[in-house]
Structure 1
Amino acid sequence: MKILIVGDFKEESGRRLLVNARKFGKGFVRNGHDVMEFCYRAQLQQLSPIKSKNWAVKIAKKKVDEILAELARHYQPELVFLTTFKLLDVKTIRQIKAAAQALLICWYEDATRGLNEQVLDIGRMCDFFLATSGGELLQRYKQAGVRRCAFMPNPSDKDIEHPREVPDKCRSKILFTGKLRHGQDGQDEMRRELIKWLVDHKDMTVWGCMGQKTLQGIDYLNAICGAEMALSINVFNDVRFYHSDRLTHYLGCGAFVLAKRVPDSDLLFEDHKHLCYFDTKDQCAELIERFQQDAGQRRKIAAAGRERVHKAFGCEKLARYIVDLATQGEYQDSWAEII
């Protein structure tokens, strides 16, 4: 199958190592498909003399849409896989559909709560709408006119996410990477409170918040590999299945993970087998105390978590599920949710 991936591949920074669109692309290739990647934002910036996003859209979007449509006309993909929404619109999708008789599948990476109108407009034009959460969010998009919806988690890549020896400067007792808060309303205040408390009382190392720089590429991976424990807590923790890709990175690199429980997350990773869940600050603190004194059990759970994430959510397997959706209308797994 010929597959055209339209995404933002972060080609200007170290973040490109862990871009999920690229992981899916590698998964498709490993399953024997031909893949063409189109980095929409890079094309915008290349064609616009002014590099700010707003000006680039005004100046170059029409031309980028024409280039994308022309690529689709020449390549004639059987599947177009959309992994970005921010710069696309219905005009972009219409041009793709006119240029190639292909199935369209979109994947919403940060699917937490509420309807995003831009995502909804594009989702209505696709044959399948995939999201990193299930339950109510999928139901809302379905009820708003999206044809078919399915849960599709973040992929792992064993070639990038794996344990490695790191220098002492990368080592930490407990690690968190990310912001304290994001821009949406209704966030779980426990995230901010817990992170600050762990920094003050448990010597947790943070990157990307509290005045510390954001790590990218190999620096980010080394920080994970050097941590005895890693904290995973979302800005929203009441959304079925949803974990940010931080959890995939942590588990894939072999970290022992303490994760805030989300609805039905045991279907993805089992408590005290692949990681350890907590519901309160006190539970998190108790787990830290316990596993700081039991390195053997900590390493055993970390190893099982790494095996689980790469076996159950590896990019090859999830890419195969996407092709199954395109060709059969379904995929089979214990955590599958398709409506």
Structure 2
Amino acid sequence: MNNLRILHCANFSTFKNGEAYYSMDRKISHGFIQNGHMVYEFSYRDIAKAQRFLGLKKRSIEKMNKDLVDHCINIRPNILLLGKCELVSLESLEKIKKLLPDIKIIQWYVDFINKENNDFFSKFKYIDVFLQTTGTGLLELSKKYKNTIFSYIPNITDPNFDVNIDIKKEYDVLYIARDHKEDNRYKFALLLNEFCKKENINLKMYGSLGNPYVFGNDYYKEISKARIAINFNREDLIDTYNHNKILGTSDRMNHFIGSKTCTFSPKIIDLDKLYKDNEHVVYFESSKECFEKLLKILNDESYNNIASDGQLKAYEISNSKRVTNYMLNLINNNEIDENIEWKDYVFYDGKKI
């Protein structure tokens, strides 16, 4: 399929003035453009919000859905590409499929699917390919929704977005999280803070333990100032690793790797198929092991080589062009390239493809 028209309905955060220009939404659009296709971006939340009158949220959502259908009529896209799209109704997808019977619908997803309601799952009736940034649960979904291809995709690291800023290293360790004092991220932050004080390690935190958040280009500046950055997500555990978590991690980890900063992560099942331990990233099975490895790597200064090799690997395997080309191969029913690192996590009708 060459010279495709793609209508990308996602949360582009238009009114945040570029704070999150490095989001998956932008990277995915960028990848399809790199592959030679036209991408029209439809920022569904912004459009709904802009049309809200007298606080009537329901009416503005209805108007946004009508606008989406009208956009499809006017643009006649080959592919409707959906992000989370919780405001896009089942009825809208049904109308679009009836009006454009040859259209393909792809959905990509980066949140926690087990928290979604029935409205979310009902849309699989019209979705041809569903991609998520974790391998957990894909086989089970494919058994239940037999007409949809389910696949893992990695969070994207792209040299046009995720870059190292040439700036002096100021921090030994960087930790960024939104913990809200409610989960293991908060507990981990407390332990990390205590450990770094005890060992005289220069720790910088954002978004945790009352520290402010950081966005935009300043976000990459702060990452570039760190020798080591730790990625720790809400489903990660303190004393062991999550044995039910497959391939999944936040896109923050890929921001760290792409910025050529040595990246620490809890052990995640099969993520070493993408990034090797002590070569591209550093994995740990508990907070205790994390802190032991911090001391070792800060002392032997191997963080520089790990950071460089990790960045090169991420640019090679998870760049925008490669990931979106993989999406197109799925929608075209092409054979999966044997070199795809996550090829074991593609399912259809309850079977691995």
1:201-234 CA distance string (max 9 Å, x none): 2142211121111111111111111111100122
**Partner AA of 2:97 in structure 1:** K
**2:259 aligned residue:** 253
Q: How many residues align?
A: 326
Mapped partners of 1:122, 1:182: distance in 2: 34
Alignment deviations for residues 188-208 of structure 1 (CA, whole Å, 9 cap, x no partner): x3x332221111221422111
Q: Which of these residues, 9, 24, 28, is aligned with residue 24 of structure 1?
A: 28
Distance of aligned partners of 1:305 and 1:167 in 2 relative to their CA distance in 1, 3 Å threshold = closer
Q: Is 1:235 aligned with 2:234?
A: yes
Aligned to 2:8: 5
Take 1:288 and 1:139, find their aligned partners in 2: how far apart are those partners? 36
Aligned to 2:313: 308
Q: Which runs of 4+ in 1 moved over 3 A?
A: 111-116
Q: State the AA in 2 paired with 1:133.
A: T
Structure 1 SS opposite 2:126 = coil
- The within-5 A match list for 1:94-173 is 94-100=94-100, 101-111=102-112, 113=114, 116-135=117-136, 137-145=137-145, 147-166=148-167, 171-173=170-172
The residue type equivalent to 2:110 in the other structure is E
State whether structure 2 residue 263 is matched by structure 1 residue 269.
no
Distance (Å, rounded) in 2 between the aligned partners of 1:267 and 1:167: 32
Q: Is the 8 A contact 1:164 1:225 kept in 2?
A: yes
Q: 1:108 to 1:56 in 2, by over 3 A?
A: farther
Correspondences of 1:157-306 after superposition (within 5 Å): 157-166=158-167, 171-180=170-179, 189=184, 191-202=185-196, 203-237=202-236, 238=242, 239-295=245-301, 297-306=302-311
Counterpart-to-counterpart distance in 2, 1:325 and 1:304: 29
**SS at 1:328's partner residue?**
coil
Q: Is the 8 A contact 1:134 1:241 kept in 2?
A: yes
Contact 2:7 2:80 in 1 (8 A): yes
Q: Does 1:49 align with 2:53?
A: yes
Q: 1:283 to 1:83 in 2, by over 3 A?
A: same
Preserved CA contact (<8 Å) 2:53 2:60: no
1:3 maps to a residue whose letter is I
More displaced 10-residue stretch of structure 1: 138-147 or 216-225? 138-147
State the TM-score, normalizing by the size of structure 1. 0.90
- Return the letter of the residue paired with 1:303: S
Greater share of residues in helix: 1
Q: Distance in 2 between matches of 1:115 and 1:178?
A: 22
* Closer/same/farther in 2, CA of residues 212 and 174 from structure 1, 3 Å limit: same
CA contact (8 A) 1:111 1:131 kept: no
For residue 133 of structure 1, report the CA deviation from its aligned partner.
Answer: 1.0
Alpha-carbon distance in structure 2 between the residues aligned to 1:245 and 1:56: 34
- 1:243 offset after TM fit, Å? 0.6
Instruction: Please state how far the C-alpha of 1:331 moved relative to its aligned partner.
Output: 3.1
Deviation at 1:176, TM superposition (A): 1.2
**Where do 5+ consecutive residues of structure 2 fail to align?**
197-201, 237-241, 348-353
After TM superposition, give the deviation of residue 56 of structure 1 in Å.
5.3
Paired residue for 2:68?
68
Determine if contact 2:97/2:126 at 8 Å carries over to the other structure: no
Q: CA deviation at 1:114?
A: 6.2
- Structure 1: how far apart are the matches of 2:222 and 2:119? 35
Contact 1:330/1:338 (8 A) holds in 2:
no
Structure-2 separation of matches of 1:167 and 1:59:
51
RMSD of equivalent CA atoms = 2.0
Bigger mean CA offset, 62-71 vs 83-92? 83-92
The CA distance in 2 between the partners of 1:134 and 1:324, in whole Å, is 19
Q: CA deviation at 1:95?
A: 2.8
How does the TM-score come out when normalised to structure 2? 0.87
CA spacing shift, 1:31–1:167, aligned 2, 3 Å: same
Helix, strand or coil: the match of 2:247?
A: coil
Is the deviation greater in 116-125 or in 156-165?
116-125
Unaligned runs of 5+ in 1: none
Whether the 8 Å contact between 2:280 and 2:310 is mirrored in structure 1 is: yes
Q: Residues 167 and 91 (structure 1 numbering): CA distance in 2 closer, same or farther, change over 3 Å?
A: farther
Q: Alpha-carbon deviation of 1:167?
A: 6.7
Question: Relative to structure 1, is the Cα distance of residues 318 and 124 closer, same or farther in structure 2, using a 3 angstrom cutoff?
Answer: same
Letter aligned with residue 326 of structure 2: Y
Helix, strand or coil at the partner of 1:140: helix
Aligned-residue sequence identity (percent) comes to: 22
Report the Cα distance in structure 1 between the residues aligned to 2:187 and 2:66, rounded to whole angstroms.
48
Distance 1:225 1:117 in 2: 42
